[in-house]
Amino acid sequence: MSTRLRGKCAIVTGAGRGIGLGIARLLAKEGASVLLVDRDENLVSEAAATLSKSGRKAHYLRADVSKADDMRSMAAWAVKEFGQIDILCPNAAIFDPSPIVDMPEELWDRLIDINLKGVFLSVQACLPKMMARSYGRIVVTSSITGNRTAIAGMAHYAASKGGINGFIRAAALEFAGHGITINGVEPGHVMTEGAAPQYDPEFKRAVESFIPMGRFAEPDDIGKAVLFLASDDAAYITGQTLIVDGGVTLPEYPPGFPRAS
């Protein structure tokens, strides 16, 4: 087992599957004790059990990131069991496409509450313990959507992820004098259990043809970027986001576009 994060204690929200589980797996692999948090208790308990069986230090807690009481309880649990909070990875998010003209107000509010307010509440809950120790690494899962690209029908999601990047920059200024860094990762197309049903074989091939590296990211690809920002190798980096998209945001022209002669 690697020991890059030996002695560190981490919290990952939305860790029942997908990117969150990939992040938790990488942090635990590097020696951190990890608390996996998710609204789905069955999912997150199974995820933690799987990590524990492989020799990792993994625990789980059912909590809703959109509820302040749940986030305070999450931080209190970590302090009681771990004694400290070194790393926080606010990752929980939903995406439920809807055109703006038909979007119910309730859908907008629910997505913003989870994706954006959930970041604020989880950070706020963990901040006092980090400030008391003058140490913390916060790494938020953002997205290229809303910050570099846009998708029709995803205005609420784009707004939430754009808001996350603004929060990261402002929070970095507040935390810099307390030994706490806050950064983010901006994933591109990631193949997760939640995303897979959206891709029939033809659509999947079409998307892959647009990604310069020719493949979707796996959750561990995102986890490795988070691991770097959560480690002391990134001690002098704050208020930044790292794009992890296989180059999809690079082309000025789509694949197959005629070249100038």
Listed as own residue / partner, the contacts of 112-115 with beta carbons closer than 8 Å and 24 or more positions apart are: 112/156, 112/159, 112/160, 112/163, 113/66, 114/65, 114/66, 115/157, 115/160, 115/161, 115/164
236 is an active site residue: no
Spatial separation of the C-alpha atoms in residues 161 and 121, rounded to whole Å: 15
Pick the catalytic residue: 157, 199, 236, 253? 157
Active site residues: 157
